[in-house]
Amino acid sequence: MKPKVSVVVPVHNAGKFFSRCLDSLIGQTLTDIEIILVLDTPTDGSDKVAEQYAQQDKRIRIVRNTTNLHIGYSRNAGIDVAEGDYVGFSDDDDVCHPRMFEVLYEKAQTCHADIVVSNYCNEVNGKVENYCFPEQLSEKEFKQKYLEALIRGNHSQPDTVSFNNVNPVWNQIFSRELLNQNNIRFTDNRKVSMEDVIFNIQAHFYARKVEFVPQVFYRHIINEKNAFNNYDYLSHEKVTAHIHFVHRFMEKNGMLSEYRDLYLICIIKRVYTSFRNEIRFKRIFHAIPFIRKIRNNADLQQAISPLFEKKQLLNKLPVTKRLFAFLIRK
């Protein structure tokens, strides 16, 4: 029988946390699921753990990458073989609430939704931080604000109710028909940063209906393995590629006129984050070559030029980012 939900889990050196992740998936109250483990050339024995679980539970399918594709393309490999009506995601060291996929799927079916979103939490050194979205909104308002937040690229403090923490994909399920009909896949995060944001922007733009359940269903474990602890993830080249991809998508789909102001602010934030990343992982003397790269990037200069024609918009930036914007302007 066809599964109701396919859960895609890229696996690469998950270590001691992998079994906990798998236990949370096979223990789901929605039993009509398939768990697709995409083995991304692990070297720590995670493949053996996956094989042991697959022998015990026939709902587990194993896909093997022949080379290390990283999380974006590994998720694509899982989507490509998925058979469920909906597709969800989990990182290999995170934990899902036992009722997560039952509640999300029931909401999707009841409301005929293409996407269903839940609240989630981060666990940092044992401390839990909740990220919750506003509840008292219509479906149309929720969808609009979610897409705006993705384009704006904000982040708020934990334990606040806001639309500023919308980047992840693992607190949602997506109609497989939506993904396939619109060719929505992850970018190659070996070349482009924030692949989940790009995926989300496409999915939420094309979705006819987006619904929300207020429970905190997904626990994201922050450890030294996470991408934001890696210089390469926010390198100048990858962040610039991210900006170009989103800009082209918005331009192609006629979104720039409606969302230009939000996106101009986002570009400065993205480049500023990459700049701080450069200094954090390297040294302060890398700042000047970094700024020179930005000034010499014609596409990026063209993208940010409208910002300086709108003083009110520029003044919305914090002082540090406003100064940075003038610093990178050619």
| Max Cα–Cα distance, the chain, nearest Å | 62
The pLDDT, as a whole number, for residue 229 is 53
pLDDT for the residue numbered 277: 84
Task: Report all structural domains of the chain as residue ranges with CATH numbers, in order of start.
Answer: 5-228 (3.90.550.10), 230-328 (no CATH)
The one-digit pLDDT tens for each residue of the chain (330 residues) are 899 999 999 999 988 899 999 999 999 999 999 999 999 999 999 999 999 999 999 999 999 999 999 999 999 999 999 999 999 999 999 999 999 999 999 999 999 999 999 999 999 888 898 989 988 889 999 999 999 999 988 655 555 567 878 999 999 999 999 999 999 999 999 999 999 999 999 999 999 999 999 999 999 998 765 545 566 788 889 999 999 999 999 999 999 989 989 899 899 989 998 888 888 777 677 788 888 988 998 888 988 899 888 888 888 888 999 999 998 998
Q: Count CB neighbours of 140 within 10 A.
A: 10
Whole-angstrom distance, CA of residue 308 vs CA of residue 156: 26
Per-residue pLDDT tens over the stretch 257-280: 899 898 998 999 899 988 888 887
CA–CA gap between residue 43 and residue 62 (Å, rounded): 16
Distance CA 113, CA 225 (A): 34
In single-letter form, the type of residue at position 9 comes to: V
- Residue 234: both structure tokens together: 């926010």
Residue 1 tokens read as 């029988």
pLDDT at res. 267: 92
Token pair, residue 156, equals 């708020």
Q: Which residues, in sequence order, are CB contacts of 95 under 8 Å at separation 6+?
A: 20, 21, 24, 218, 219, 221
Whole-structure pTM value? 0.93
Give me the pLDDT at residue 153, please: 81
Residue type at 87 in one-letter notation: V
